[in-house]
Amino acid sequence: MLVSVIIITLNEADNIESAIIAVKKAAVMSSGKSVLLEIIVSDGGSNDGTTKIAQNLVDKIIIGNKGRYKQLNAGAKVSRGDVLLFLHADTLLSKGAILRISYILKDTKIIGGGFKKYWYWNPELKRSSFLRFISFLWVTLDNLIINRLKSIPGDNAIFVRKSVFEELNGFSKMWMCEDLDIMRRMKRYGKKRIVYIPSEVITSTRRFEKYGFFRTVFTWFLIVLFWKMRIPQNKIKEHFKKYSTVPERGNKKYLRF
């Protein structure tokens, strides 16, 4: 079984090498051998040296139009794997993560799934004790809900059999919520066929650090709500035109909320 890992990037020079190294470690068996692996970087036009850093570390680099669904679909199109694992550049796989995917998918009834999420905060950023508690509570509840509903977001590292992905026609043309949309379509194959792996993937909190925790969570809530209400994507994008789908690290030294 060949696993194709598709990492989407746009000016991710600070993160891409760590993400690729974590992918390779996640595929190593106790014997020292590795699961068959293909790593693809799907770049949206970086100008900070992202692709130069990645060029000797991955199997393929493709450069196209920016946009999450565009980059995800473009990476899938050139992949050779039986399984597709979609990864954000600021998310690190845990040791053995790809081994677990290979083992789980030996059950032919399972079509895909995702992982438990752990947020990594910049150690140089000081947080109020209230924010520490709330952020811990939020990610704990978030993981419980994801496990229960099997509605897995992109920063939990979604994986799917390529045959199923192609039958679903890939990610839909959406500004946001393309991850939740494809999970909803995957669930129509059968809810019991989607798995939640309790091993953690480590995801950057840089968006929280830039905009604040509560502001970011509330924005996410509204975007998902509008999507569920079937409001057209162009109207959602216009309403949240100050929200960037490309996260940047903030320069705050202390974060209360």
pLDDT in tens, the chain (257 residues): 999 999 999 999 999 999 999 999 999 988 888 889 999 999 999 999 999 999 999 999 999 999 999 999 999 999 999 999 999 999 999 999 999 999 999 999 999 999 999 999 888 888 899 999 999 999 999 999 999 988 999 999 999 999 999 999 999 999 999 999 999 999 988 767 999 999 999 999 988 888 889 989 999 999 999 999 999 999 999 988 878 777 776 677 778 77
- The Cα-based distances of 144 to 60, 137, 138, 197 in angstroms read 35, 11, 10, 12
pTM: 0.93
Identify the CA nearest to 37 among candidates 78, 77, 74, 82: 82
The tally of domains found in the chain comes to 1
- Residue 72: which CATH number? 3.90.550.10
Task: Quick: pLDDT tens for 112-124.
Answer: 999 999 999 888 8
Domain region containing 117: 3-255
The span from the CA of 24 to the CA of 154, in Å, is: 20
What's phi and psi for 119, nearest 5 deg? -90, 135
Length reported for the chain: 257
Residues 93-108, buried b or exposed e (16+ Cβ, 10 A)?
Answer: bbebbbbbbbeebeee
The span from the CA of 1 to the CA of 6, in Å, is: 16
Identify the CA nearest to 225 among candidates 239, 214, 211: 239
